[in-house]
Structure 1
Amino acid sequence: MFHLRLYMEYLKQYMKVRLAYRWDFVAQFVTDFLFQAINLVFILVVFGHTNNLNGWSQAEVIFIYGYFLIPWSIFVAFFNLWDFNERYIIRGELDRVLTRPVHSLVQVIMETMTPESLIGVITGLIVMGWAMTDLNLTWTWYDPIWFILFTLGGVAIYAGIFISLTSISLFTDSKSDIQPIMYNIGNYGRYPVNIYHRVIQFVLTWILPFAFVGFYPASYLLDKANWQWYAFLTPIVGMVFLGIGVMIWNVGIRHYRGAGN
């Protein structure tokens, strides 16, 4: 409850700052929507030249993309760590964070959140609904529960990976350019994993498990029995990678020497 109250206070302050420039706030919503729409157009262009993608129909691929947007948008909204190196290491703001009686990672997450990115959740649901008009899907009463668990697992996977990458700067005290590369690799999870080479499939499943963020859970919701056991692993994989990320962060904080050294 303490962290929830603290989060609400951070959220109030964030909204006050953002709404001081209302059109800029609105422009962020529009920009995020257009960015997601461009990726959808890319899928439509691909299917303009083929009827299926290694056995996957256009509606199924669109459904997978729509589902992927939901955990991805939640991750971006609450784990916006892209400028951590510049802001907290190079400018020394991490020293300020470490003087407060709240876990450093929790503070950084609250200070860098971008709630407007949650527009992607709405976009994802709309895209999924559009795709479902062409799909004969039958959901049971417990599928929405799995949907929530899969989503939380996907957010945890992304968070764990990017917290681990962010923690590298705690050891080096300098900028790291790995995150943009990992961001591009993460985009592979929004498409059917079996369209890639087997080596890439293995990497996206067990090394950098971005396939658990979009493809495997969406396949279960599409009644694809071949992938359902992978889907059920999503929450477990999420907890493992988030745990690893927090562990690396804690070790990095103990190793951090301060901006003045």
Structure 2
Amino acid sequence: MKHASIFFQYVAQYMKTRLTYRVDMVIEILSDLLFQAVNLIFILIVFGHTQLLSGWSRDEIIFIYGFFLVPFAIFGAFFNIWDFNERYIVKGEMDRILTRPIHSLFQIILERMELESLFGVFTGIGVMLYAGNQLGLSFSWYDPFLFIVLVFGGVFVYAGIFVLLASISFWSDSPTSIMPMMYNIGNYGRYPVDIYNKVIRFVLTWILPFAFVGVYPSAYFLGREDWYEYAFLTPVMGIVFFGASVVVWNIGVTKYRGAGN
């Protein structure tokens, strides 16, 4: 209850701050929508030259992209830690975080919230509904609940990977370009992994499991029965990767040397 109370207080203060500059917030939302539209246009251009992509139709790829947008939006809203090294380690703000009696990772998540990213959830659901209608998909009464479980499994997969990367900063405070590179690699999870070679497919499944953010959970709703085992493995992968990242984070905090010259 204590953490929930703090969370909602942070959200209230965040909304007050963002609504002070409403035009900036609207521009950010519109730019995000434009970025998503560009990705959709790319998919349409690809399918302007082919009917199938490794056995996947245009609407199936669009459905996968729509699903991917939902966990990605939630991740972007609450795990915006791409500049953790520079802000909290190099500039020493981690010292301030560690003086408070709340878990350090929880504090950083609250400080770095970007709730406007949650609009991507509605965009993703809209894209899925459009593609699902084109494909003539039918859903069971329990599918919305399963959808929520799979989405949060994908969120925790994404969060686990990036928290692990941020934790490296506790051992090495030198600037690194791993974060931007990993964001780019994460985009591979928007597309079916069987369009890649075996090495990339293995990496996206077991090493950097971005496939569990988009294509694998989407396979369940698309009726790809041969991929059901991967789809149902999504929440397990999320728990394992995020749990491991928190353990590494806690160890890293004990190695933090503090700011100084």
TM-score, structure 2 length as denominator?
0.98
Identify the residue that residue 100 of structure 1 maps to in structure 2: 100
Q: Distance in 1 between matches of 2:245 and 2:95?
A: 21
Instruction: Calculate percent identity across the aligned residue pairs.
Output: 61
Aligned positions, number: 261
C-alpha displacement of 1:254: 0.2
Residue correspondence of structure 1 range 36-75 to structure 2 within 5 A: 36-75=36-75
CA distance in 2, matches of 1:81, 1:99: 20
Residue 136 of structure 1, CA deviation: 2.0
Correspondence 1:245 to 2:240: no
Q: CA deviation at 1:142?
A: 1.8
Structure-1-length-normalised TM-score: 0.98
1:90 matched to 2:113: no
* C-alpha distance after superposition, 1:11-61 (max 9, x if no partner): 111122212211001111101111111101100000000011011010000
Alignment of 1:166-205 (within 5 A): 166-205=166-205
CA contact (8 A) 1:89 1:259 kept: yes
Counterpart residue number, 2:4: 4
Tell me the residue number matched to 2:122. Answer: 122
In 2, Cα distance between equivalents of 1:142 and 1:22:
38
Letter in 2 for 1:191: Y
1:199 and 1:141 map into 2 onto residues whose CA distance is 38
Gaps of 5+ in 2: none
What letter is aligned with 2:7? Y
How far 1:132 sits from its partner (Å)?
A: 1.3
2:256 is matched with: 256
**Cα distance in 2, alignment partners of residues 82 and 205 from structure 1:** 23
Give the Cα separation in 2 of the matches to 1:65 and 1:74: 15
The unaligned stretches of length 5 or more in structure 1 are none
Q: Distance in 1 between matches of 2:173 and 2:64?
A: 39
After the TM superposition, which residues 148-227 of structure 1 pair with which residues of structure 2 at under 5 Å, given as runs?
Answer: 148-227=148-227
Cα distance in 2 for residues equivalent to 1:23 and 1:90 = 32
State the 4+ residue runs in structure 1 displaced beyond 2 angstroms: 173-176
Instruction: Report the secondary structure of 2:21's partner residue.
Output: helix
Contact 1:89–1:174 under 8 Å retained in 2: no
CA positional deviation for 1:83? 1.4
